[in-house]
């Protein structure tokens, strides 16, 4: 095991995969000499040269279009989109081309393409750089959606994504970039399978389903609720697509109560999909109506105080859990 920053864990994983497979290469704005604006590709240019660590023009449409062509030609590009907010500029390439190409060619054309970028709230980046797009992107078939909650999860899921023959979008929380050093495994073959959720805290009273940085807020809330006699089972989904329904269903059968927490806006967020599937499949085991905690339906404020009022917090999670319990 080693200790390193989140972005250093990304850089090491990319280096290991590029050494393992010469078809893997990185592309994006300022990722070569600068090493990416967050340092996630730092040092790779010196090791692999400009052919495999490629700076691109400031055109998200061109970046994803070129990455799709490279993937269809037998290479395995890893795209750094910087802020996930920018992916909307290239939405046609993402959902009309990348997501559909393998299906439209009857699986004769593989699309081993990874798109990774940071997103989310809690760092005062204001409305244009604090958005969460996983619910929007997950709506379109053909894309796998990954949401790591730690540097260890990032390593295992990123490696799985690079070796997948389908397009994968990795939503990395900017809040996790700010954490002190993480303890991570040194095994260059460490991988986490897609579609397998992680029960990070067992419990008996409430099933709390979440992902990404909200896992940590959920754990903080669960520890406080335990002192009040409420036992919360916290499930980290890891991936939205594919979705591990069975782990969620079995937990709800045990607890009888469901709370879904995410940074995305509550209205039309992916929490609604989890609630719908639980109601459709394990309704008879529910002892209370499922609940959701997401961001309020307003642009994310720049003011730290206002931002905290809008986004999910341990206190909001605690209040929702208390509401789920019998009076």
**209 torsion bin: left (phi>0), alpha (psi -120 to 50), beta (else):** beta
The b/e string for 57-76 (b: 16+ C-beta within 10 A; e otherwise) is eeebeebbbbbbebbbeebb
For this structure, is 216 an active site residue? no
- Which listed residue (129, 139, 216, 262) is catalytic? 129
Residue 168's closest CA among 195, 132, 130? 195
The b/e string for 190-201 (b: 16+ C-beta within 10 A; e otherwise) is eebebbebbebb
Torsion (CA) 57, 60, 62, 63 in degrees, nearest 10: 80
Contacts of 163 (CB under 8 A, 6+ apart): 17, 112, 191
Catalytic residues: 129
């Amino acid at each position: 095991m080693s200790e390193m920053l989140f972005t250093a864990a990304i850089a090491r994983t990319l280096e290991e995969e590029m050494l393992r497979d010469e078809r893997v290469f990185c592309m994006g704005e300022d990722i070569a000499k600068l090493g990416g604006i967050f340092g996630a590709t730092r040092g790779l240019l010196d090791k692999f040269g400009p052919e495999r660590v490629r700076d691109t023009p400031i055109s998200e449409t061109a970046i994803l279009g070129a990455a799709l062509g490279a993937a269809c030609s037998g290479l395995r590009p890893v795209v750094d989109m910087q802020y996930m907010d920018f992916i909307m500029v290239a939405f046609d390439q993402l959902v009309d081309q990348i997501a559909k190409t393998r299906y439209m060619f009857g699986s004769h054309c593989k699309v081993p393409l990874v798109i990774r970028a940071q997103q989310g709230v809690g760092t005062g980046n204001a409305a244009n750089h604090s958005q969460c797009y996983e619910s929007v992107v997950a709506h379109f078939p053909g894309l796998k959606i990954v949401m790591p909650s730690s540097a260890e999860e990032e390593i295992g899921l990123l490696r799985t994504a690079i070796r997948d023959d389908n397009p994968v979008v990795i939503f990395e929380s900017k809040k996790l970039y700010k954490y002190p050093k993480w303890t991570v495994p040194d095994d260059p073959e460490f991988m986490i399978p897609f579609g397998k959720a992680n029960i990070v805290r067992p419990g008996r009273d409430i099933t709390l389903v979440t992902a990404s940085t909200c896992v940590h807020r959920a754990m903080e809330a669960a520890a406080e609720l335990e002192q009040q006699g409420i036992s919360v089972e916290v499930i980290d989904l890891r991936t939205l697509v594919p979705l591990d329904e069975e782990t969620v269903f079995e937990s709800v059968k045990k607890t009888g109560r469901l709370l879904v927490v995410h940074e995305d806006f509550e209205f039309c967020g992916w929490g609604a999909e989890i609630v719908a599937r639980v109601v459709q499949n394990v309704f008879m085991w529910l002892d209370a109506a499922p609940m959701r905690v997401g961001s309020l339906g307003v642009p994310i404020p720049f003011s730290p105080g206002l931002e905290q009022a809008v986004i999910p917090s341990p206190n909001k999670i605690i209040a929702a859990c208390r509401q789920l319990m019998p009076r």
